[in-house]
């Protein structure tokens, strides 16, 4: 039977964006924020989230000018063929590198926190095979998986935040804004990198059922991450303190471990947290891999992306296994973060150019 | 279908007609034939098929009025003999008097056929045919064929009557509060049960015959004006595609028309309860009844439906919601408990409170196997017990349960094969799986725990999560007649959440769920 409800619904778009953002960064966002902005971390996280929401809105506005095309096609119309293809290739490679980077970070965290004796390779290959299975079902399966996993992921993070909330000591926030607005503003770009993941909006519009409400549903995808990240940073600063938080590798795990002491049902809540966090990483890696496979396919001009997954998976695996130590990984983190941010910000010049060159939004052709 | 094509081919027809007549029918012969005017010819055609069968009855007699040769053919056991005697033989043979003459004059013709048809055969349901095939099929389904000399038409009189099982309480879906009648093996009784619950003339019962040899009647029922015509079209297309010699049961038909075979879960729900079937009709679903099967199929089906019981709607909504939630929790327990136990005991003992961890370690002290082997052993044993209990007659089944329970619960522990905690885990899993109201869903879910246990044994909680993700991707990717299996959770439909994990108050469910794409959404027009 022909499904009349084909295409992504509004809530599915929202959830895909949210689940793509919430992923690996959950583990270290308090460290990231306190390192960059000190006591102002929570406010910076909130502001960075709002800035990201604005960028996501711009991406939707740009994509809505070309409602039936992904960024790969319309960038070639805006920038011209060679430049547009280059831009598309950058996006595709970026998605691939981010996927492999998240995968590596995930495997490292798993090895430290859950399975000390299991080889990295096994952890990564299992995850990649899962992603393969999910991507094979197409965007509708990915969307449904995101919808299903939203509840468990959010509940485990909410429990971590809510159970720690009563113990937050407000005196730790005394020094907020003490050093003026400069570090506050300086911290925003750094923290907003944790919100990367809304680039998927470059691709979602053509798949949407109700394209007119894309702006609302797309930007709404950032509400959940803002809530989650700000909450985590706030609780971490109020509970552990700025200096300690900025020195922990996975401060969120530290927070979740404290839940176990107030909850006599499980001894170490952090193990449970990690288990559910796997779901968050899974959705992130899957969506990035999908994004990459789709981009490469469209770059070449084909429609069926499924054969490309099989080509991309080994590359992802090799890229993930390549870094030898944490220093390499940190370099990679910086590279992916800056390219991600610049890709997100590139929507501004693209919008300007498309308006000037009269492409899209009724000027098609 | 192949058979129809073969019929339409004129060459084939000739060949078949040549091979007809007195030759004994070979098994492959296709019984297409035109009837002749001579009673002897027609009689022989029937005999060619049926004379070897001892349950076929041939009876030749003469019409009382004018002595024309007649014959009846029927199958003993499928027919009601008093009807044959009282409505066919008695009026035809004994009407010699004025009555008959009167009848003859009234009909204004000496056409014996019309006379018999209109005045003599006193049966409620009559068909006429000039096709031996059709006549044969009718005879095989319990009708009586009446052949009259000089006419190439046969009168088929409905004399069906065979021993039927009475309407009894459904065993697989019992409820405490609710109707106690269940479907039976006879199609007509089943459709009547549906009609009695819904007197809307828009309720359409359409029948197709499937099975080249079994000619099983399959009725699909829907309500015009609620059910989406696209759904009916799709069903008809799938039914037409079937070319098989026998449809064994509705479960067999289910597998012939379902979307995805590579799954353990039913994509088409089956029920023994007419009230459930009618409730589904009202939601815009199509109910399929198969002759000889007391189970009706309902399409499309979503995963959440498998957790619904008719009783949920009879009890107050708070109670029902609690029970509904309990079912969902128990489904998780049935699938994940042994896997999580293995993962926790083997890889993450830190997860459980220290005292419990210590006591588990103490009870596991003398056990020679790793917990994964122990769990697989015990889970297999409980499945053995369950299966043997289901196959054995009631009294012995209970004995098996007691013996098995004792042996497993006590002796295995004292023999040091397993730890008491493992027995608790296994028992919990088994009990939890029996809470799920749909049997086929329960066995489908239960089987998932074996691969999950192995995953947990290899990768700990990561393995359990991998299993969880695989199950969810699988559930998200399958569809039942175009409807996503995980509706209303994915794609999220907030309106349908009213009848999901909680069951909202009856007055708040003003619209039908959109899970079956009904074309009329309004169910209730009151405050």
Question: How large is the ipTM?
Answer: 0.95
Non-local CB neighbours of A320 within 8 Å, separated by 6+ positions: A100, A101, A103, A104, A107, A124
Q: How many angstroms separate the CA of residue A187 from the nearest CA in chain B?
A: 35
Q: Output b/e per residue, B37-64; b: 16+ Cβ within 10 A.
A: eebeebbebbebbbeeeeebbeeeeebb
Confidence band of A280 (pLDDT split at 50, 70, 90): very high
- Best of B230, B259, B332, B351 to substitute, by most chain A Cβ atoms within 10 angstroms, is B351
Mean pLDDT score, B483-499 = 88
CA angle centred on B270, ends B269 and B275, rounded to 5°:
105
B267 touches chain A (CB under 8 A): no
- Tokens, residue A226: 């803002």
Q: How many angstroms separate the CA of residue B48 from the nearest CA in chain A?
A: 45
Measured in Å, how far apart are chain B's first and last C-alpha atoms?
52
pLDDT at B13 over 60: no
Judge contact between B60 and B70, C-beta under 8 A.
yes
Measured between alpha carbons, how far is A25 from A28 in angstroms, rounded to an integer? 6
Measured between alpha carbons, how far is B236 from B101 in angstroms, rounded to an integer? 51
pLDDT at B99: 55
B40 touches chain A (CB under 8 A): no
pLDDT at B29 over 50: no
| Residue from the list A115, A137, A267 with its beta carbon closest to the beta carbon of B473 | A137
**Mean pLDDT of the residues in chain A:** 90
Domain boundaries, chain A: 10-347
Nearest residue on chain B to A146, alpha-carbon basis: B490
Closest CA to A96 of A337, A346, A358, A336: A336
Mean pLDDT score, A154-174 = 91
A145: chain B residues, CB-CB within 8 Å: 469, 472-473, 476, 490
3-state secondary structure chain A: CCCCCCCECHHHHHHHHHHHHCCHHHHCHHHHHHHHHHHHHHHHHHHHHHHHHHHHHHHHHHHHCCCCCCHHHHHHHHHCHHHHHHHHHHHHHHHHHHHHHHHHHHHHHHHHHCCCCCCHHHHHHHHHHHHHHHHHCHHHHHHHHHHHHHHHHHHHHHHHHHHHHHHCCHHHHCCCCCCCCHHHHHHHHHHHHHHCCHHHHHHHHHHECCHHHHHHHHHHCCHHHHHHHHHHHHHHHHHHCHHHHHHCCCHHHHHHHHHHHHCCCCCCHHHHHHHHHHHHHHHHHHHHHHHHHHHHHHHHCCCCCHHHHHHHHHHHHHHHHCCCCHHHHHHHHHHHHHHHHHHHHCHHHHHHHHHHCCCCCCCCC
pLDDT at B104: 56
Cβ distance of B461 and A274 shorter than 8 Å? yes
User: C-alpha distances in angstroms, B198 versus B232, B271, B276?
Assistant: 19, 17, 12
* Stretch among A334-348, B58-72, B285-299, B473-487 having the lowest mean pLDDT: B58-72
| Residue from the list A3, A266, A275 with its beta carbon closest to the beta carbon of B465 | A275
pLDDT at B193: 94
- Best of A144, A283, A309 to substitute, by most chain B Cβ atoms within 10 angstroms, is A144
CA dihedral B211, B216, B217, B219 (to 10 degrees): -70
- Tens digit of each residue's pLDDT (9 = 90 or more) over B104-122: 555 555 677 888 888 788 8
pLDDT at B7 over 60: no
| Residue from the list A118, A141, A266 with its beta carbon closest to the beta carbon of B459 | A118
Mean pLDDT score, B94-104 = 60
* Stretch among A22-26, A33-37, A246-250, B21-25 having the lowest mean pLDDT: B21-25
Domain boundaries, chain B: 20-158, 187-301, 315-484
Residue B423 burial (CB count, 10 A): 19
Q: What are phi and psi of B152, to 5 degrees?
A: -95, 25
Non-local CB neighbours of A228 within 8 Å, separated by 6+ positions: A22, A26, A154, A157, A161
Cβ distance of B491 and A264 shorter than 8 Å? no
Mean pLDDT score, B148-175 = 87
- Tokens, residue A19: 């689940």
Q: How many angstroms separate the CA of residue A29 from the nearest CA in chain B?
A: 23
Q: How many angstroms separate the CA of residue A316 from the nearest CA in chain B?
A: 19
Cβ distance of A130 and B230 shorter than 8 Å? no
- Tokens, residue B181: 């009648």
Cβ distance of A141 and B352 shorter than 8 Å? no
pLDDT at B492: 87
Interface A–B counts its CB contacts (< 8 A) at: 107
Non-local CB neighbours of B500 within 8 Å, separated by 6+ positions: B304, B488, B489
User: C-alpha distances in angstroms, B462 versus A132, A301, B38, B51, B456?
Assistant: 17, 38, 81, 69, 7
Judge contact between B339 and B452, C-beta under 8 A.
yes
pLDDT at B33 over 80: no
Q: What are phi and psi of A330, to 5 degrees?
A: -65, -40
Cβ distance of A12 and B491 shorter than 8 Å? yes
pLDDT at B27: 46
**Mean pLDDT of the residues in chain B:** 86
pLDDT at B5 over 70: no
- Tens digit of each residue's pLDDT (9 = 90 or more) over A295-319: 999 999 888 888 889 999 999 999 9
pLDDT at B103 over 70: no
pLDDT at B24: 47
Cβ distance of A137 and B477 shorter than 8 Å? yes
CATH of domain A10-347: 1.20.1740.10
Left (φ > 0), alpha (ψ -120 to 50) or beta: where does B425 sit? alpha
Q: Output b/e per residue, A240-270; b: 16+ Cβ within 10 A.
A: bebeebbebebbbbbbbbbbbeeeeebbbbb
pLDDT at B98: 54
Mean pLDDT score, A209-221 = 91
- Tens digit of each residue's pLDDT (9 = 90 or more) over B108-159: 556 778 888 887 888 888 888 888 888 888 999 889 999 988 888 899 999 8
pLDDT at B28 over 50: no
Q: Which residue has the tokens 């006429």?
A: B128
- Tokens, residue B23: 């030759």
Q: How many angstroms separate the CA of residue B285 from the nearest CA in chain A?
A: 14
B497: chain A residues, CB-CB within 8 Å: none
Judge contact between B158 and B126, C-beta under 8 A.
yes
Cβ distance of B464 and A149 shorter than 8 Å? no
pLDDT at A47: 93
Mean pLDDT score, B494-514 = 89
Mean pLDDT score, B504-519 = 89
Left (φ > 0), alpha (ψ -120 to 50) or beta: where does A362 sit? left
Residue A334 burial (CB count, 10 A): 11
Confidence band of B386 (pLDDT split at 50, 70, 90): confident
- Tens digit of each residue's pLDDT (9 = 90 or more) over A101-149: 999 999 999 999 999 999 999 999 999 999 999 999 899 999 999 999 9
Cβ distance of A282 and B476 shorter than 8 Å? no
Q: What are phi and psi of B223, to 5 degrees?
A: -110, 115
pLDDT at B109: 52
pLDDT at B253 over 90: yes
B469 touches chain A (CB under 8 A): yes
pLDDT at A171 over 60: yes
Strand partners of residue B220: B206, B288
Cβ distance of B350 and A275 shorter than 8 Å? no
B346: chain A residues, CB-CB within 8 Å: none
Q: How many angstroms separate the CA of residue A136 from the nearest CA in chain B?
A: 10
pLDDT at A357: 86
Q: Within the 230-249 window of chain B, which residues sit less than 8 Å (CB to CB) from chain A? A: 230-231, 233-234
- Tokens, residue A321: 């296994």
Measured between alpha carbons, how far is A319 from A337 in angstroms, rounded to an integer? 16
Q: How many angstroms separate the CA of residue A127 from the nearest CA in chain B?
A: 8
pLDDT at B50: 87
Mean pLDDT score, B448-469 = 95
pLDDT at B431 over 70: yes
């Amino acid at each position: 039977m022909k499904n009349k409800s084909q295409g992504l619904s509004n809530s599915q778009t929202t959830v895909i964006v949210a689940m793509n953002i919430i992923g690996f960064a959950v583990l270290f966002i308090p460290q990231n924020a306190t390192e960059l902005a000190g006591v102002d971390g929570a406010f910076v996280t909130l502001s960075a989230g709002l800035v990201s929401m604005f960028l996501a809105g711009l991406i939707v506005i740009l994509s809505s000018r070309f409602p039936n095309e992904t960024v790969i096609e319309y960038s070639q119309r805006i920038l011209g063929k060679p430049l547009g293809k280059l831009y598309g290739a950058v996006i595709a490679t970026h998605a691939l590198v981010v996927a492999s980077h998240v995968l590596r970070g995930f495997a490292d965290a798993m090895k430290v926190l859950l399975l000390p004796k299991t080889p990295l390779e096994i952890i990564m290959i299992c995850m990649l095979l899962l992603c393969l299975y999910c991507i094979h079902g197409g965007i509708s399966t990915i969307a449904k998986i995101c919808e299903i996993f939203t509840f468990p992921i959010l509940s485990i993070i909410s429990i971590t935040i809510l159970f720690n909330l009563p113990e937050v000591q407000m005196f730790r926030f005394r020094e907020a804004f003490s050093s003026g607005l400069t570090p506050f503003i300086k911290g925003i770009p750094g923290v907003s990198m944790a919100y990367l993941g809304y680039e998927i909006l470059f691709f979602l519009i053509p798949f949407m059922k109700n394209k007119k409400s894309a702006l609302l549903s797309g930007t709404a995808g950032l509400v959940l991450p803002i809530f989650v990240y700000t909450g985590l940073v706030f609780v971490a600063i109020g509970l552990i303190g700025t200096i300690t938080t900025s020195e922990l590798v996975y401060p969120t795990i530290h927070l979740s471990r404290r839940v176990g002491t107030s909850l006599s049902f499980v001894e170490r809540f952090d193990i449970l947290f990690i288990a559910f966090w796997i779901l968050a990483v899974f959705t992130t890696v899957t969506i990035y891999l999908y994004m990459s496979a789709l981009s490469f396919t469209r770059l070449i001009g084909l429609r069926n992306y499924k054969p490309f997954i099989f080509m991309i998976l080994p590359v992802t695996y090799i890229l993930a296994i390549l870094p030898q130590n944490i220093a390499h990984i940190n370099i990679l983190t910086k590279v992916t973060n800056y390219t991600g941010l610049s890709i997100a910000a590139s929507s501004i010049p693209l919008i300007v150019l498309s308006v000037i060159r009269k492409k899209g939004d009724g000027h098609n052709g | 279908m192949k058979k129809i094509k073969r019929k339409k081919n004129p060459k084939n027809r000739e060949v078949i007609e040549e091979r007809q007549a007195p030759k004994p029918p070979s098994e492959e012969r296709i019984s297409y034939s035109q009837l002749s005017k001579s009673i002897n010819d027609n009689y022989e055609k029937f005999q060619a098929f049926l004379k070897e069968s001892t349950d076929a009855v041939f009876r030749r007699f003469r019409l009382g009025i004018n002595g024309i040769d007649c014959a009846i053919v029927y199958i003993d056991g499928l027919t009601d003999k008093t009807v044959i005697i009282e409505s066919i033989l008695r009026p035809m043979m004994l009407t010699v008097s004025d009555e008959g003459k009167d009848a003859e004059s009234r009909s204004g013709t000496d056409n014996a056929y019309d006379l018999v048809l209109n005045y003599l055969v006193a049966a409620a349901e009559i068909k006429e045919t000039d096709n031996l095939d059709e006549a044969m099929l009718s005879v095989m389904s319990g009708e009586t064929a009446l052949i009259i000399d000089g006419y190439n038409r046969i009168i088929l009189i409905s004399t069906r009557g065979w021993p039927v099982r009475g309407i009894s309480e459904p065993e697989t879906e019992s409820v405490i509060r609710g109707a106690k009648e269940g479907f039976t093996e006879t199609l007509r009784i089943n459709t009547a049960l549906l009609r009695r619950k819904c007197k809307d003339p828009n309720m359409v019962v359409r029948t197709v015959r499937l099975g080249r040899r079994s000619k099983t009647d399959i009725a699909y029922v829907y309500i015009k004006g609620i059910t989406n015509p696209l759904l009916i079209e799709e069903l008809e297309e799938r039914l037409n595609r079937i070319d098989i010699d026998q449809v064994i049961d509705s479960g067999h038909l289910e597998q012939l028309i379902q979307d995805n075979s590579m799954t353990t879960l039913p994509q088409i729900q089956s029920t023994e309860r007419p009230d459930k079937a009618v409730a589904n009709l009202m939601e815009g679903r199509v109910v399929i009844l198969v002759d000889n099967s007391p189970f009706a199929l309902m399409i499309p089906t979503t995963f959440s439906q498998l957790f619904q019981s008719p009783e949920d709607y009879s009890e107050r909504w708070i109670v029902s919601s609690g029970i509904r939630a309990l079912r969902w929790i128990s489904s998780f327990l049935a699938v994940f408990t042994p896997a999580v136990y293995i993962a926790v005991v083997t890889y993450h003992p830190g997860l459980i409170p220290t005292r419990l961890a210590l006591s588990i370690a103490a009870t596991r002290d003398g056990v020679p196997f790793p917990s994964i082997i122990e769990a697989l052993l015990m889970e297999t044993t409980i499945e053995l017990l369950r299966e043997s209990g289901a196959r054995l007659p009631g009294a012995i089944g209970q004995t098996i349960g007691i013996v098995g329970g004792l042996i497993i619960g006590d002796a295995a522990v004292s023999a040091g094969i397993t730890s008491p905690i493992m027995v608790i885990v296994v028992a919990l899993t088994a009990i939890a799986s029996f809470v799920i109201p749909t049997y086929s869903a329960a066995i489908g879910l239960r089987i998932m725990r074996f691969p999950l246990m192995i995953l947990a044994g290899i990768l700990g909680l990561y393995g359990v999560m991998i299993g969880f993700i695989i199950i969810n991707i699988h559930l998200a990717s399958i569809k039942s007649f175009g409807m996503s299996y995980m509706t209303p959770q994915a794609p999220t439909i907030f309106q349908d959440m009213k009848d999901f994990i909680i069951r909202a108050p009856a007055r708040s469910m003003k619209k039908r769920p959109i899970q079956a794409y009904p074309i009329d959404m309004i169910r209730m027009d009151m405050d």
